Structure 1
């Protein structure tokens, strides 16, 4: 197996290990002190350092991984640049006033690094185009979405840091979870052919399983949306989506273990 393929699979497995670490830490804290109303609320518990470390690391993994299609890659990148902001800007909780100095420092640092990374990506794109390699429409959409997200973050933080501290967490969490759902949809045969518009034959081994995972995600959204008055509805939704995405990730990892695709990736 080539070093490229080995590294790719290790990164995929690292993401699962990170999700497991979050589950273990949250479970241990729940056993000690009871349930919180959301995963984000565990930021203020002894599980907080694990929560921050996991989300920041998951963001790096999602950005580093190349999606099966350009459309999937865009969704992974959007989730990847959103996840660290979920950790760096904690959800407002009663009895825990936001530390605006820490939020400003962490968010500004992240946005600065994101800008540098974006410039590096643009240089690679420019070099690729000079070499005669065209850029797909999905890649252009991804670059535009990341630039827009960065611009919104910079302007919002600069103009109204108090509003940013109060609401940026919710916006970042939304754009972390929604791409997860889109990634699953894009891995169905229909998603590959119709949305991603890939002309090459798509994978079929787990197409039915991908649809089951996608249906589970949509059902979880509907069920917990109807139960929004329940104190633990958000926690239930987050745990359901993460569990289903982890199941999808395991299936996709197995699905991608193909000797011909490995050879093509190495080439």
Structure 2
């Protein structure tokens, strides 16, 4: 990967980090306008503050980038695609709890009507996108049988399952969808992100020729992504911490940004780690 393709790849990766920083700055600015102890109980609850436009826009942008970017392995690619598909749902379906900490009252209008309109638009656009992905898979199977693997079909199947399940839920139980889809999408999205980091850490740990410091960096992030949320849940159980969700979300987002920056630095010139393996294999 050279020239314009690698530059585009870099820009997309950097755009994701920029969106995370943008969301964090917007939250901090909103927080600075309230009492120091006044925080929403989750990042999603900042939808009900002046942060809403950036919250929605940043999540949709991050979701698009995760779908567009190719993962280093088929497993990573599938996980990124699932997380990317779910990110707009997290953005467009607000958490039912508005919270009490906001600098000014935000007029939302009819939240149910907003969800119905925007999610329907997302589903309408998503169907042809999935059909187009199927066409690309069939075309690759015909043009390059040797490089094609059934994992591509698995990835499309997982995407169709997630997307189709969401659409069926939306059509069959609109009120249930509006009340619970945010949590369902957010939990699965974060789980996919954590597994992506764990997969990279394990891949580099087993791979020869990778600097030990780099492999350790991925491993530390992966362990922290699992251990810190568990410790926060334990603290919440013991001391009834009201901001446990906010703490877990903030921790995972910061650690994912650290992972993404680390991976972007590693792959700055190559784009995909898998290509390096192919080059070494061909040179032998």
TM-score of the superposition, structure 2-length normalised? 0.84
Residue 264 of structure 2 corresponds to residue 253 of structure 1: yes
Offset from partner CA, 1:77-105 (integer Å, 9 cap, x none): 11100001001100002588972111111
Shift of 1:220: 1.7
Match of 1:197 in 2: none
Match of 2:161 in 1: 148
Cα distance change on mapping 1:193 and 1:71 into 2, 3 Å: farther
Matches within 5 A, 1:61-80: 61-80=65-84
Residue 28 of structure 2 corresponds to residue 17 of structure 1: no
Match of 2:228 in 1: 220
Bigger Rg, which one:
2
Structure 2: unaligned runs, 5 residues or longer: 100-107, 280-284
Matches within 5 A, 1:91-110: 91-94=95-98, 99-110=111-122
Residue 244 of structure 2 corresponds to residue 233 of structure 1: yes
Matches within 5 A, 1:110-259: 110-133=122-145, 134-188=147-201, 190-191=202-203, 203-204=210-211, 206-228=214-236, 229-258=240-269
Q: CA RMSD in A?
A: 2.4
Shift of 1:256: 0.9
Matched residue SS, 1:166: helix
Contact 2:6–2:270 (8 Å) recurs in 1: no
Shift of 1:21: 0.1
Offset from partner CA, 1:14-64 (integer Å, 9 cap, x none): 110000000000000111123110000000000011000000100111111
- Runs of at least 4 residues off by over 2 Å: 94-98, 132-141, 190-194, 200-205, 257-262
Aligned residue-pair number: 259
Cα distance change on mapping 1:97 and 1:172 into 2, 3 Å: farther
TM-score of the superposition, structure 1-length normalised? 0.89
Give the Cα separation in 1 of the matches to 2:232 and 2:150. Answer: 35
Structure 1: unaligned runs, 5 residues or longer: 195-199
Give the Cα separation in 1 of the matches to 2:124 and 2:208. Answer: 40
